[in-house]
Structures are given as C-alpha cells and as structure tokens.
Chains A and B, each alone.
Chain A
Amino acid sequence: MPCEPYQDALVSAAAGAQVTRALRSHLLACDACRTALAEEQALHASIDAGLRIITNPAVPPSLIPSVRVRLQESALRPRWTVAQLVPAAVVLLVVLFVAREVHWLVWGTSDTRRSASVSLPAQPGQFEPPGRGAVAVSPQIARSGAEHASRGATPLVSRGENRPETVSEILVPRDQEALLADYAERWRSHRRVVLTAEQLSDAPLKPLEVAPIQIALLDVRPLVDADSR
C-alpha cells in the first residue's frame, strides 16, 4: 500500500507526468511506494500494448483493390454540372407549367378561385366581362345561390357566350335581383375590385343589407263553414 500523500503523484508519474524531486527522494526510501509505482507502470505498459494491438491490425488485402474499383465506378457515373442543371431545371419548369395549363383547359378546375368566382351586373340585365369592376363572390355565397336555384329561383347571372366556362352561376329569386345588383354596385363604389375567398379573412365583410321583402297582403277568405254543409 503506497503512502497516502504520494498516491496521486505515483499515478500521475506512471501515466507520463514528470517525477518531482520530492517523489524521487521518497521512492528511494519507501519500498511500498516503489512497488506501487512499478505496478502502475506495468498497468500502463499493458494498456499501451493493448492499444497497439487495437490500432495496428493487419490491413485486409482486399481494401485497396476494392477502393480502386469503387473509385472507377464513381468516375464512370455521369455527374451533373451547373451548366447541365440550369437548362434541366428550366425545361422541368416549362413542362410543369404546360401540364398545369393543359389540365386547366381539359378539366377547368385547376384554379379554385376561377371556378368559385362570379361576376354580378351593375344593373339588372346588364352584364360586364369579368375583370376590373367585377365583384367576385365567395364559394359560400355561391353555395347559397345554388340553394336558391334548387328552390326554383331564376338565375340572376347567366353565363353568356363571352364568359369563360369556369365561372359558376348564382341563382337568386327574381325579386332579389335588384337588391343584389345594388349590393354589387356598392362594392364597386368602395373600390373593392375583386373580393376573393382568400380576402374574406383579412377584410371582414359587412352583412348584406337587404330590404325586407314586401309580401302582398294575403287575401284571407273564410273557409266554407263546415257546419253549413
């Protein structure tokens, strides 16, 4: 068992640290510490020998030929250069664009905004081409129009020959035509050129102010008195 004050110094000395003069003089006098140092040095010698076995194994003879073959393969493989990549990317973009347009022409549903938008006339019976001055109605409104149509209402906007076939129809009751046209006119005067479904979220709509529907007074007639029969 080595002396307590020299224990760390012995371990460090065996690991490669410089032996101090105090330790050297102590080792001359102390057998136990000399033995402990020798054991510690033997341990380090074993570690070094073990490390040499680990780090100096025989290199497999197949290593270099295999690397040469793989280098050859990687050299034969075609490489993309910038000069080739740029035209390839341009061609890919053109193909994608053409495919998108063809899809739109054939199916007419490539752009949801186009299919959901509809133009309303400024005056009843007067139609404008879509574009500046047109009011696009959101899909929700378009859906409500479809519900009107299912109840037997007449169409306010009919798709003429000059209209693209991608625009849906809105059917409104005949007595609501004027009101809806007025609403469209008011939107136009507010310079809201296009109101799309996307714009609904950031531009809150005022509720549609519709005048109460005038219903003619009902002609109430008493039923034929059952008692009189």
Chain B
Amino acid sequence: MQELVLDQPGHTAQKEYEREAADIASRQEFEALLPEAAPLAFRVARGVLRNSADAEDVAQEALLQAYRRWHRLRDRQRFRGWLVRIAFRLALDRTRSAKRREIRETLWSQTAHRASTEDIAASSEFQTHLEAALAELSEKYRIVLLLSAMEGHTLEEVAVLLSVPLGTVKSRLFFARKHLAEKLRCHVNLTKTR
C-alpha cells in the first residue's frame, strides 16, 4: 500500500524557520572566529600588497568569500589555511590589476596614492629593497616566508596551514631566505661604504 504524505501548510514555514535558524547559527560560529581570522587575513594581504588600506579591503573580501563558502568546509580545523590561501590569492590578483592600472594611468594620477603613517615608518631604504625583493619571489616561496615571519607561527603550523610537508616548508624557506640575501647583499654593502 502506497503511503502518501501531504505537504501541510505549516510545513514550508517550519522548513524556512529551520533554515534561517541554521543560517544564524552558522554566522555566529563564523563571527566567533573573526578576532583570530581577520588579523591573519589582513597580515597575509599586507605582506603581498605593502599597503594597509588595500590590505584591509582584501581582508574583508577574503573573509566574506570564506563566509559564503563556509557551509562547504567540512573540516573546520582547516579554516585558517583555507583563509590564508583565499587572502593570498585575492592580494595577488589585486597586485596584478594594480600593475595593469599603473600602466594605463598617466604619471600625474599616480600621486593619488597616499601612504599611511605606518607605511612611511616602515619605508626605510632597506625595507623598500626588501619589499621589492620579496615581490620578485615566486608565490610558493613568498607565502612560506610571510607566514613563517608572522608572530606565533612555527614551521609546523605553516606546514599545516599550507597543507604541505614540514620538509617542503623548510626547503622553501631556506631557498627564499638565500634569494633575499643575494638580492639585498649589494644594498647592505652600499650602505656600509657611504
């Protein structure tokens, strides 16, 4: 005998209510992670973009993207690594589009960018060369260098964040540091000879 289930009028409303409740619970869970996740996204973006205002925009965008795909993330332990990748990717995209824009725009309009106090403080000569050398590194070396330089990140944590073996992190870090030293050695020598 076939059993028929009738859709009662209140049934849809109940479903809607349950869905809204699940959404609210999900948002609260996500918001609870913000105090830890937002600085991480900001610092990753700042390491790539070298500009705090742009980094804040990218961090916001990365967090929103992460929230939109939050329900797809089964293993919540991987959230930090996931967010790092989103923020890094978005920051790289913005760098590329900024470069294209820079080419398009004329010289007089390039003065529109205003450096923050923090940017000015950090823009010593060596720092400028360091940032330039960092920007020349390939993505896989750069992200390892940035994450390992962030406070509170051990190499094991970096390996977990990037989902790569610890040995890979160590070798990439070694190569990246060596590359930076090669690029910056001449500037240190120049400073000494002055």
Contacts and interface: CB of A to CB of B under 8 A. Distances in A.
Contacts of B178: 11-12, 15
Interface string B79-114: 000000000000000000000000000000000000
Contacts of A106: none
A67 interface: yes
A44 interface: yes
B69 interface: no
A54 B55 CA distance: 12
B interface majority secondary structure: helix
Contact of A43 (B68, B127, B149, B184): B184
Interface in B120-162: 122, 126-127, 130-131, 134, 145-147, 149-151
Contacts of B184: 43, 46-47
B181 interface: yes
A43 B64 contact: no
A58 B46 CA distance: 10
Contacts of B18: none
A64 B67 contact: no
B20 to A, nearest CB: 9
A60 interface: yes
Interface residues of A, number: 35
B142 to A, nearest CB: 11
B23 A60 contact: no
Contact of A68 (B31, B59, B150): B31
A70 to B, nearest CB: 6
Given A16-B174, A50-B126, A71-B31, A60 B52 contact: yes
Given A46-B188, A71-B67, A54 B56 contact: no
A63 B42 contact: yes
B92 to A, nearest CB: 16
Contacts of B68: 74
Nearest to B30: A71
A58 B43 CA distance: 9
B31 A58 contact: no
B193 to A, nearest CB: 13
B173 A54 contact: no
B149 A52 contact: yes
Interface string B28-68: 00110011001100110011001010011001100110011
17 contacts: A15-B174, A15-B177, A16-B173, A40-B181, A47-B130, A47-B181, A48-B149, A51-B146, A54-B146, A55-B150, A59-B39, A62-B56, A63-B42, A63-B59, A67-B59, A71-B31, A71-B63
Interface of A: 11-12, 14-17, 39-40, 42-44, 46-48, 50-60, 62-64, 66-68, 70-71, 74-75
